[in-house]
A and B are shown apart, each in its own frame.
Chain A
Amino acid sequence: MSNYIMPLIVLFVIIYGIIKKVPIYDTFVEGAKESFDLVFKLFPCLLAMILSINIFLKSNIIDLFKFISLIPNQIIPMIIMRPISGTSSLAILTNIYELFGPDSALGTLASYIQGTTDTTFYIITLYFGSIGIKKIKYALWVGLLADLISITISILFINFIS
């Protein structure tokens, strides 16, 4: 079933574009060009994150925290980084895929976390900053709690359902 999702999206978007008389080829190319910009922005961040995560994880210091048995060690840097920086957590996600494979329990959990949370600090800084709001009241707490709930449900899901 879920194998059909991607082809169907592509099919639907293309047909819709044709109906609306959009120059689909040109538009596709134009959109794809934007990836250059993104990739150039992403690379330095990716390098920086891989460097620090690599040193941190390979030092095995995380073994000291073995007592939190429900949360796999390798996921902890991702949980810390997720609300702060989207590209960083994407970098950590890619690293987990590279090391353990996307279908491993760890890869699946990381996919859930990346897919169901967002960069709370970034969004707050950007959105409130852009309109000059200084008193954000309880926004940060609600935002972080929402992230925490997503992560908790993801962990429960992987431990007890799938």
Chain B
Amino acid sequence: MVNKIWGCFIIIGILYCLSNNNIEIVNTAILDSTKTSFDMIIKIFPVMALWLGIAKIAEVSGLLKKLSSKISIVLKYIFPEIPKNHESLSYISSNIIANMFGLGNAATPFGLKAMQSLQKLNKKKDTATRSMITFLVLNTSGVTIIPTTIISLRMMYGSVNPTSIVLPCIIITFLSTLSGLIIDKIFARFYV
């Protein structure tokens, strides 16, 4: 998928420039990309290190775990098919908490664990269950409360108020997650 889109961007861009006799633009675009990407990585690197350091403390101290136990109460309404106190609920909540803090890389291991334990409840091992898809919706609509990576990138690029996006993001995320869950329930009812 990425391969095709990536190729299309390049081919379309170059062909369009050729047809307009604008080949000089392509030359600068190709040469500039090395410098631009290097500058970016140099800017991103220390910021990432900073947040991964903070995140590690939150993880080791058990803070993430503590927070996730708080939201597992809500989860039983979103996942009615999962039996009470099943281990998958704690993995799901850890995954959501990590996502809330914008720690995508911390979220993925929990997400994988959650899928494994949901698979234990699955009767048809090659087919996705309702809970699995609901969990996926929670992940793809991005339940972010504090998008740490974005805030730090905004800092690097000299934003006057890097955290100004937080409140709108919370509102948007809330609305889209809610509609995602509703769509999921509708699909679950009518999909045979």
A-side interface residues toward B, CB under 8 Å? 2-3, 5-6, 9-10, 13-14, 16-17, 19-20, 22, 24, 27-35, 38-39, 42-43, 46-61, 77, 80-81, 83-86, 88, 90-91, 93-95, 97-98, 101-103, 107-108, 111-112, 114-121, 123-124, 126-128, 130-139, 141-147, 149-150, 153-154, 157, 161-162
In contact, B142 and A123 (Cβ under 8 angstroms)? no
The answer on a CB contact under 8 Å between A142 and B137 is: yes
A123 to B163, CA, bound (A): 27
- Whole-angstrom distance between the alpha carbons of A17 and B62 in the complex? 8
- Are the CB atoms of B52 and A13 closer together than 8 Å? no
- Judge whether B53 and A2 touch: CB under 8 Å: no
Contact A50 to B33, CB < 8 A, known contacts A2-B164, A111-B165 = yes
For the complex, give the distance between the alpha carbons of A132 and B191 in Å: 21
The distance from the CB of B112 to the nearest CB of chain A, in whole angstroms, is 5
Q: What sequence of 0s and 1s flags, for each residue 156-192 of chain B, a beta carbon within 8 Å of any chain A beta carbon?
A: 1111111111111101110111011001100110010
Q: What chain A residues lie within 8 Å of B140 (beta carbons)?
A: 83, 117-120, 123, 143-144, 146-147
B180 contacts across to A, CB distance below 8 A: 142, 145-146, 149
Report how far A151 CA is from B16 CA in the complex, Å. Answer: 28
Contact between B142 and A2 (Cβ–Cβ < 8 Å)? no
B71 CB–A CB distance under 8 Å: no
Q: Please, could you name 16 A-B residue pairs with CB atoms under 8 Å apart, sorted by A?
A: A27-B57, A28-B56, A38-B48, A52-B7, A56-B9, A59-B29, A81-B5, A97-B156, A116-B169, A118-B139, A123-B111, A130-B115, A133-B132, A135-B127, A142-B133, A146-B141
B48 touches A31 (CB 8 A): no
Chain B min CB distance to A57 (Å)? 8
Q: Are A157 and B168 in contact (CB under 8 A)?
A: yes
CB <8 Å contact, B41 and A39? yes
Residues of B within 8 Å of A107, CB to CB, are 154, 157, 159
**Is B149 positioned at the interface, with any CB of A under 8 Å from its CB?**
yes
Q: Classify the interface of chain A: helix, strand, loop or mixed.
A: helix
CA distance A70 to B115 in the complex (A): 38
Closest to A90 in B: B149
Q: Given A17-B61, A127-B112, A150-B173: A112 and B157 within 8 A (CB)? A: no
Encoded as 1 (CB less than 8 Å from any A CB) or 0, chain B from 71 to 97 comes to 000000000000000000000000000
- Contact: B116 with A34, CB < 8 Å? no
Residue from B126, B163, B168 whose CB has the most chain A CB atoms within 10 Å: B168
Contact check, A55 vs B30: say whether CB atoms are below 8 A apart: yes
* With known contacts A59-B26, A115-B102, A27–B56 Cβ distance under 8 A: yes
**Does the CB pair B136–A94 fall under 8 Å?**
no
A43 touches B191 (CB 8 A): no
Residue in chain A with minimal CB distance to B32: A54
